Amino acid sequence: MHVDDFGYLLHLYYGTRSEGTMDYLPTYADRSGCCCSPHEAGTRTYSLDVLPQEFPFQGNGDLRSTLLQVRDESGTFGCDLRYVRHEVRAGKYGLPGLPASYADADTDGAETLSVTLADERIGLEVELLFGVIPEIDIIARAAIVRNNGDGRVTVEKLQSACLDFVAGSFDVITFNGQHCMERKPSRQHVLPGSFSVGSRRGQSSHQYNPFMILCDRDATETAGRAWSMSFVYSGNFKAEVEQTQYQQIRMQMGLSDELFSYPLEPGEQLVAPEVIMTYSNEGLEHLSHNLHRCIRRHVCRGPWRDAPRPILVNSWEAHYFNFTGDELVRLAEKAADLGMDMLVMDDGWFGARDDDCRSLGDWTVNEEKLGGTLAQLIERVNATGVKFGIWVEPEMVNENSDLFRAHPDWALAIPGKQPALGRDQLVLDFSRKEVRDNLFDQLCRVLDQGNIEYLKWDFNRSMIDIYSHATVDQGRVIYDYYLGLYDVLERLVQRYPNLLIEGCAAGGGRFDAGWFHYAPQFWTSDNTDGHDRMTIQYGSSFGYPCSVMGAHVSACPNEVNGRTVSLSARGLIAMSGGGFGYELDLLELNDRACEIIREQIKRYRSIEGLVREGLYYRLTDPMSDDVYAWEFMAEDGSEAIVNAVVAKAEGYGEARYVVPRGLTRDAFYREVASDRVYPANALMDMGLPLPVSSALYMSRSYHFVRVDE
Ligand code: GLA
């Protein structure tokens, strides 16, 4: 970047590491009166409408989409931000009340660049933060807007990161879907105009993930330039790519400006949540590897970050709301017998919750249903040899609940209008401290009843009626809600440091880098069908490591789409998540299925380190290829797991080859099951044949170990 003669902070270059200055990149030309110039420029060849910038703002000539729009006390739009100072600090910055990546000066060589810009007229200051984690090629960005003036300033738009390209012909890749089919990759050319995805749902959403890639039009997994932005935030967002009148490209990400209007009184500040950026000139695979390392080691925290996670059975698809304590104990016994580590009691254990129309908000144990106290149930489950976990949905309330009857104003609802319902429930106003405190206390009372070692934190509807009784400025409510949610999660993590937390939002509706700062896993999707999961997990892997994906084997035909996939393939696909488990009635399994599951559990224990920490390779694309193949490799190349599932079967068809990547060139690898040695070069050139005429969902998993002697 570069501060020019007028004090504007221009962006010059973000690409292959390079020394020297790149201030020759922006061009200056008379573009007629259509591109306005700052008054003192004194030339028509200088316009912010054309120049690449680090933090474009609305107010002095840039008429593209900008990162900042403010109104002063009179209601007038516009500001003019000029460079004031900068400094470089050791270590990576953190953000007050918001999730952010973290890295150390000593161990990671991390540094923070802080650049302050200011508008003198309204007394506005913006501190831009750039956190650099050099070893994994990450630059994280955030911004803090401070009102240093004497009048109220209203922030109408505040985004966190912008990348301006002076030229280029690009594709944009976004990750889109719906409940039960999240994060399908979608790739298209960047064309004139503006393309954006985002969420106004009060959650990062199933529909568009807060992660975006821009790449060369011919970029592949292993070649071409690619840039990405990941939002470290779980609420509303907007990610946009604009191709301008002069074929320049602007990529930007941050808070959504819809349903947002944030007042700052003199002395107050507003923090734009973090965006993690990375760059690759070796295609999408390298980009993903940078992001996987970043989220695994620099976003996730706590003892479970680097530890083997329990293999669990979850009661939901086994029993839904209909279970007794005895049935759960029988499920736990069977889980123990099969070699699992944990039983999770999902929805239905509290209040009068026998269906999804009541009791959210009343986190009192239904002892009649459990046939005793929660403590007794946990003891009985632990006595079978497995740990105990529990489901909650603390941000929600049913109108049919004691909490709502006592505090109707604690739900987000507009006075004089009946609130829109989602799954018959309302969203609690987490922007209010008394609401958060009540729910936090209720949660602690549950967690303190016994040896609870896992918590599934769910969130099952979008926000519609954005009104809080605690403020007159309703445009701040969703932002404050998320500060409130992060406050509760932080308190939870501090009070129960050993509790394993898994996020969930009707499946993967809040699967974002913000969440992973508080919990190392998220339920990837309510769709547990093996076939669809290939696509969902494949899509998720572009921006997120497998270690964060909750993935379970469920029964067939699948509850969601009626499909039947072999148990071996379902297992292999679920075993590619860091939160592996089962979600079916184990007591209904026949002997053969039990035998397969015992083998899967043994297998997972032997490979889970590679799944959690290895380099992940997308060998094929499950949306278009006949075989879905993927690979985990140790960072040092010493071993690899290569998996394949036949996704399209043809009778008497051609032989299909699985071609691994990333093996050590010129080395030899022994495949463990067959004890056969293969030359790495040939494997990576021609691949390994799968059995000819393989049946649909036939699966194979090869474990290669490098022969080092
Ligand atoms: C959501 C979750 C499911 C399950 C149910 C319980 O739909 O995604 O996994 O926990 O809620 O009501």
| Nearest ligand 1 atom to alpha carbon 356 | 12
Question: For residue 390, is it within any domain?
Answer: yes
- Please tell me the distance between residue 577's alpha carbon and the centre of ligand 1 in angstroms: 18
Same domain, 286 and 394: no
- Residue 656 belongs to a domain with what CATH number? 2.60.40.1180
d(CA 187, CA 190): 9
Same domain, 53 and 137: yes
Which ranges of the chain have pLDDT less than 50?
A: none
Quote the pLDDT of residue 41.
93
Residue-wise pLDDT for 304-331, tens only, equals 999 999 999 999 999 999 999 999 999 9
Active-site residue, from 458, 480, 529, 532: 458
| Residue at a domain's end among 552, 579, 612 | 612
Ligand 1 pocket test: which of 315, 319, 346 has the largest number of ligand atoms within 8 Å of its C-beta? Answer: 346
Residue nearest to atom 3 of ligand 1 (CA): 506
Question: For residue 648, is it within any domain?
Answer: yes
| Nearest ligand 1 atom to alpha carbon 346 | 10
d(CA 544, CA 36): 42
- Please tell me the distance between residue 393's alpha carbon and the centre of ligand 1 in angstroms: 9
Residue nearest to atom 11 of ligand 1 (CA): 506
| Residue at a domain's end among 265, 298, 331 | 298
Ligand 1 pocket test: which of 345, 391, 459 has the largest number of ligand atoms within 8 Å of its C-beta? Answer: 391
Same domain, 579 and 501: yes
Same domain, 290 and 323: no
Largest CA distance in the chain: 84
- Please tell me the distance between residue 276's alpha carbon and the centre of ligand 1 in angstroms: 30
Same domain, 403 and 439: yes
d(CA 629, CA 389): 33
pTM of the complete model beyond 0.85? yes
288 burial via Cβ count (<10 Å: 0-12, 13-18, 19+): buried
Question: For residue 438, is it within any domain?
Answer: yes
Residue-wise pLDDT for 539-556, tens only, equals 999 999 999 999 999 999
Active site residue 526: yes
Same domain, 586 and 648: no
Provide the sign of the torsion angle of the four alpha carbons 97, 99, 101, 103, taken in this order. Answer: positive
Query: Ligand 1 — pocket residues by CB below 6 A?
Result: 316, 346-347, 356, 391, 458, 460, 504, 506-507, 523, 526
Quote the pLDDT of residue 33.
77
- Please tell me the distance between residue 527's alpha carbon and the centre of ligand 1 in angstroms: 11
Quote the pLDDT of residue 472.
96
Same domain, 265 and 318: no
Same domain, 536 and 670: no
Helices 567-574, 591-613: inter-axial angle, 10-degree rounding: 20
Active-site residue, from 72, 526, 529, 532: 526
Among 508, 509, 514, 507, CA closest to 490: 514
Active site residue 257: no
Question: For residue 40, is it within any domain?
Answer: no
- Residue 482 belongs to a domain with what CATH number? 3.20.20.70
| Residue at a domain's end among 561, 578, 612 | 612
Quote the pLDDT of residue 308.
97
Quote the pLDDT of residue 113.
98
Ligand 1 pocket test: which of 349, 502, 526 has the largest number of ligand atoms within 8 Å of its C-beta? Answer: 526
Question: For residue 169, is it within any domain?
Answer: yes
| Nearest ligand 1 atom to alpha carbon 504 | 8
Same domain, 254 and 337: no
Same domain, 128 and 189: yes
Same domain, 84 and 52: yes
Quote the pLDDT of residue 314.
98
Question: For residue 303, is it within any domain?
Answer: no
Contact 477, 466 (CB under 8 A): yes
Residue nearest to atom 6 of ligand 1 (CA): 347
- For residue 42, the SS3 value is coil
Quote the pLDDT of residue 422.
98
The number of folded domains in the chain is: 3
- Residue 164 belongs to a domain with what CATH number? 2.70.98.60
Quote the pLDDT of residue 31.
86
356 burial via Cβ count (<10 Å: 0-12, 13-18, 19+): middle
Residue nearest to atom 2 of ligand 1 (CA): 506
Question: For residue 37, is it within any domain?
Answer: no
Same domain, 318 and 294: no
- Please tell me the distance between residue 360's alpha carbon and the centre of ligand 1 in angstroms: 13
Question: For residue 30, is it within any domain?
Answer: no
Residue nearest to atom 4 of ligand 1 (CA): 316
Residue-number span of the structural domain to which 466 is assigned: 312-612
> Which amino acid type is present at position 687?
G
- Please tell me the distance between residue 458's alpha carbon and the centre of ligand 1 in angstroms: 7
Residue nearest to atom 8 of ligand 1 (CA): 506
Quote the pLDDT of residue 649.
86
How crowded is residue 516: how many other Cβ atoms within 10 Å of its Cβ?
26
- For residue 231, the SS3 value is strand
- State both tokens at 303: 């003892």
Residue 472's Cα: distance from chain center in Å?
A: 32
Burial call 210-230: b when 16+ CB within 10 Å, e when fewer? bbbbbbbeebebebbbbbbbb
Contact 705, 670 (CB under 8 A): yes
- Please tell me the distance between residue 507's alpha carbon and the centre of ligand 1 in angstroms: 7
